[in-house]
A and B are shown apart, each in its own frame.
Chain A
Amino acid sequence: MQTRRKFDPNAPEVKALREEIRRGAFTREGIMVACPTCFPGGTVPIVHDESRITALDITPQGVIYGGTSGRQTHLFVANYHGVTGIVLDIGMPAGATRSVAVCCGAARLAAFVNGPRGGRAVGAPLASVSQDLIQEWGINRPAIQDLGECVPGEPVVHAVADESRSMAVGVTSQHLFTLDFASSKIQVAGEVAAAGRIALASNGGIYGRDGAGHLWRYDPKAGALRRQAAPLPAGAWDLPLVWARDRRNGLLFTADAQGQLFSFDEKRGFSGPLGRAPLAPVRPMAVTLDGRLFGFCGEEMAKMFCYDPASGEVSNLGVAASVLERRRYGYEFGDAVTGRDGELVFGEDDDGGHLWLYFPRIRA
């Protein structure tokens, strides 16, 4: 038996250590708000084991769309601006158990789901939830339309809307495809083996990992796929890719399997390593309006991190905890988008999943 240390509880170093352990565990800066998947006081949340939020997108007006995973997928729309404050369950695509992507077109929504019926696309009109939800309301539930399998026999891996929001570009396990929002027509655009998420880059190109050392590029306007369009920087690239996009300039951020962060610009290519997240793997990330990157990293009990391009520093912000709206710890997150005013929106990929709004600390 090693000698047990005795601590003077009044010693400054002991106080400091206890304080670091206590305060350092949770949301060290900014404010987290866990919002239930319902109209609080008006509806019940999405069923507990059908509410793992794994896909998010947002319209230019700041209306959030999402998809869940679990025993059954649900699509939802959420709005927190004006006199709203609601997550509206749009419905359940038949036979689907996992949402992999939600894409907002100019007027319609496309969601990509997997399940026993294969990897399918479903569509719906963008819903209006901008009524006065303090006073009185009359909300219609938009109808979900099954658009069919994207590529027969292949699960969908991810999809994003193009810059014009006229089409979604997606990948299945083996193919690239497009979905035209207006006609709902799905077309195979090429053959690529998907390796994680894809992203819309600074010049309108859509990129995904191409083997162990490159990215492919798809030009939605020209309908052209270019293989090995950009080399990956030195790193451990053996996990599916994740991306975050700075909507001011289209700059992308990604991370390798060890948590090293990189940025990518279509003209300049990849940056060198920007820093390392406190833990690996890196999960969803989003960029706020001043360029700071926020994301989650680590298994089972993710910790939030921030990369600040101004200082070049990466900081550990701890486990997500919400004391507003709902008192809840947040452990696993599936997707993220940047909100209208620079708040970050994280989808909780957990039973009883919530939509988490993060308001970063204002830079002094």
Chain B
Amino acid sequence: MLKTKVHRRDFLKSSAALAVPVTVGAAPADYAVKWYPFTGHPDSDTCWSLSVGPDGRIYAAACAEGVPGGVVKPVRYNEQRDDLDYLFDLGEKVEDPGDSGRATQCKIHYSFVPSMADGILYMATHLSGPPFDLPSYSPWYFWPDPKRCFRGAALLAFDTRKDQVAWWDTLIPKEGCRCLLHDEDRRLLYALSYPRDHFFIYDLKTRQRRDIGRIGSINAQTLFLDKKHRVWTTNDYGHLVRYTPEKDRLEISPQILPHNPVHQTGWHSVFYDVAPSPDRECVYAVTWSPNPYMMRIWPNEGEWPRIEDLGPATQAARDLTFPMSMFQDHCGGLTFAGDGKLYYVASRWRDPVRNPLPGEHKDREGVVWRLDPATLRREEVTRLEHPMGFAHYVSRGAVDHNGDLFFGHVGSRPSGIFKVSMPANRKKKNAHLPIRMWG
């Protein structure tokens, strides 16, 4: 049975629920923040993927989903120039250009995964960007239309050693890839499709795909892998979903992930982001739901994992009579750094009644938190500062081989990424290892 341990009280003592941030330990100034807009791809309006590559460098997706005919361009942080390199137009590389008349190869959505043995960075595309001559796109509406329907999620293998595309294939016909995972020992990729929410396995040895079946209607935004090569995700109602290769089936946990019982049922408590602990004994996860909850999951314990409820990741005080915007109330970018602490970005917003922030604060801000796995206490270490707008919505985070933090940002045009330089005493070379194998 699933067991839940509640450490919420301790957690809340230092949570974003407090109107005025509490700073413990290193001063915010020690975490220098710099913004890198995707100026080389001015169409870009989102950055849904940011990962560390097998070479220890940071890769991000300059996605262009709001503009007809938009295509994604993978970028890489160039530490010598302290700037971004634009690698290629992905639509051109997979022979599905932005003017195809179909929905475009507009973004990479939590779908960078490394292959350490050969230096390949796999990336899979997602849909939503309209054809170049239509104002909008619906995958449901255009499903049967061969001229308009998305061709399918492209899987592209980028050789980080040679700096070139090694090969590409169609990962999922007609659908986008919402998230991707690589089991390198078995050379298998796992993916969730959008919009049908099917669970796919792609065999890198044979380049064949298998559709294991449908999960539900709301994609989880992450898959994660345990030591037994089992793949985990969630369903619409906040249950864990587990794929066990030996059983070759999807199983659903009996109990529901942590959520706020006052106004929620567990519906839509799907994973948003999941970071593995450095020892791979547990993962830290946050849900994709208003009032997202943080939790620690021990997949190697028991028939179903032990789950610790770490409480709300964003401010708890809120108006329960009105549905909170998911574009405002958000947490993502979970990653461990060289100091052995979990870092992530949670939104904080001004609420005249419940959280009247002092004047120097923006109405919405992205707070970088540092969580100590030993005590489960967290501290605010800095805030992301966007030069012109808000910086409260972070998709993914990663640490590069120099030990610095990077976060992908959604909500400005052009979109971009943040670098958060780690304080020298908390920084470590090759802090990205062991590397995260899912997007």
Contact = CB atoms under 8 A, between A and B. Distances in A.
B399 to A, nearest CB: 36
Given A48-B250, A49-B213, A352-B214, A1 B135 contact: no
B152 interface: no
Contacts of B137: 21
Interface string A1-27: 111110101000010011001101110
A359 B254 CA distance: 33
A25 B141 contact: yes
Interface string A62-94: 000000000100000000000000000000000
Interface in B195-233: 195-196, 213-217
A327 B135 contact: no
Interface residues of A, number: 34
A331 interface: yes
A180 to B, nearest CB: 38
Contacts of B98: 1, 4
Interface of A is mostly: loop
Interface string B159-186: 0000000000000001000000000000
Contacts of A22: 136, 138, 141
A351 interface: yes
Interface in A295-317: 298, 300-301, 303
B316 interface: no
A282 interface: no
A1 B70 CA distance: 12
A18 B236 CA distance: 28
B215 A301 contact: no
Nearest to B237: A326
A24 B145 CA distance: 14
A348 B274 CA distance: 32
Given A4-B99, A279-B144, A352-B214, A17 B138 contact: no
A350 interface: yes
B27 interface: no
B140 A2 contact: no
Contacts of B187: none
A328 interface: yes
A352 B216 CA distance: 7
20 contacts: A2-B132, A4-B67, A4-B132, A7-B68, A17-B134, A17-B135, A21-B137, A21-B142, A24-B141, A25-B140, A48-B251, A49-B249, A49-B250, A279-B144, A301-B143, A328-B217, A328-B236, A350-B214, A351-B215, A352-B235
Given A1-B98, A4-B98, 7 more contacts: A2-B132, A5-B133, A5-B134, A9-B135, A303-B144, A318-B141, A350-B214
